[in-house]
Amino acid sequence: MLLDNGTLWIGRRYYYDKAVGSVHILDYKHMQSSGNGVGVSDITVNETDKLHLAAITYGGEGELTGNKATADTNYQNFMADVRYEMDVGDAGKVVFALQNLFVNDAIDEAGLTDGRTFTVQWQKQLGNVDQKTVIQYGTGAMAQNPGAAGTDGGSFDYAADSSSSGFRIFNNGLVDITEKFKLDYMVMYEKSSDYHTLKSVGVRPHYSISPHWSELGEVGYNAYQTKTNGIENDEQTLMKYALALQATADSTEYWSRPSLRFYLSNFDWNKAAGQESGLSVAGKEGDESALVAGAQVEIWF
């Protein structure tokens, strides 16, 4: 071991679930700092707490557009990622995190904006509900999508105003109703000063019908309203209904993988969502629903 306390790493990492996990029902990574870098993870503090430190670089060659101009050059931006897991006893576990993006001064003449996100996550088993609640606040290049740098920094808005801000709050979890019946759920709200407002809710019931077969259902709703030059556009609404038959090694275990699914899904959306996605042409009526059937295999590594 190179360190007496913690694990030293260097190279390319998909750095998103450390200490915070993800939102399974959305396949969503709310703290995403993946890329090339170096760090020390799992540093034990006070016997019960853990500290994780990472430095990620986002570089390349090409165009980056700021709020003043577009720079066509080699660039090397830098992300500092700090995550602290605190055990609060019977109250559960709290994670405090900071992601801080530093833009390369060499191309600062384009007006590329720094960004940062503060995240607080509380996780605790409440009765038969394994839940977590997350609050995130982002500024500058991370105002539009707090916490989500994407892989190699693909989710930054370098052209953002430095005063831009956005926040996200959500709760998600798994309800263990009976040995055979589970319910995954998610409720999310996010709003940014210059970009959008999002309201999202979803539930996914899971019922075991035999040792290896289970039934899944899903209902999801999204309401998404963007802004253009400070003016709110028409709200886009999307609705999803799905049924699936699933085979796993243990059908009573919600997280059992690999899984084979046969599914039938229905999607409904309004005209604004159709025009934004290209499914409808502006000024004309277009499709506002779809029925999809298929099969999929889900494997975790």
Sign of the CA dihedral 270, 273, 277, 283?
Answer: positive
Helices (H), ranges, the chain: 271-277
Can you give the pTM of this predicted structure? 0.91
- Domain for residue 108, yes or no? yes
How many structural domains compose the chain? Answer: 1
Task: Spell out the per-residue pLDDT of the chain, length 301, in tens.
Answer: 567 899 999 999 988 888 899 999 988 899 999 999 999 999 999 999 999 999 999 876 666 666 666 666 667 789 999 999 999 999 999 999 999 999 876 556 667 789 999 999 999 999 999 999 999 999 999 999 999 877 777 788 888 888 899 999 999 999 999 999 999 999 999 999 999 999 999 999 999 999 999 999 999 999 999 998 888 999 999 999 999 999 999 999 999 999 999 999 999 999 888 887 766 555 556 678 999 999 999 998 7
Of 60, 159, 69, the C-alpha closest to 115 is: 159
Dihedral angle computed from the Cα positions of residues 28, 32, 36 and 37, in that order, rounded to the nearest 10 degrees: -140
- Residue 156's domain comprises 1-119+141-162
- Domain for residue 33, yes or no? yes
d(CA 176, CA 268): 30
Q: Give the H/E segment covering residue 301.
A: none
Q: How many CB atoms lie within 10 A of CB 145?
A: 24
- Domain for residue 269, yes or no? no
- Domain for residue 253, yes or no? no
d(CA 230, CA 227): 6
d(CA 220, CA 202): 4
Sequence-distant contacts of 273-282: CB under 8 A, at least 24 apart = 273/224, 273/236, 273/237, 273/238, 276/226, 276/236
d(CA 77, CA 64): 11
- Domain for residue 170, yes or no? no
Specify whether the backbone of 205 is left (phi greater than 0), alpha (psi in -120 to 50) or beta. beta
- Domain for residue 76, yes or no? yes
Instruction: Answer for the pair 220, 201: CB distance below 8 angstroms, yes or no.
Output: yes
CB burial of 146-182 (b: ≥16 within 10 Å; e: otherwise) equals: bbbbbbbbeebbbbbeeebbbbbebbbbbbeeeeeeb
CB burial of 64-92 (b: ≥16 within 10 Å; e: otherwise) equals: bebeeeebeeebebbbbbebbbbeeeeeb
| Cα-based distances in Å from 133 to 150, 196, 269 | 22, 22, 28
- Domain for residue 9, yes or no? yes
- Domain for residue 198, yes or no? no
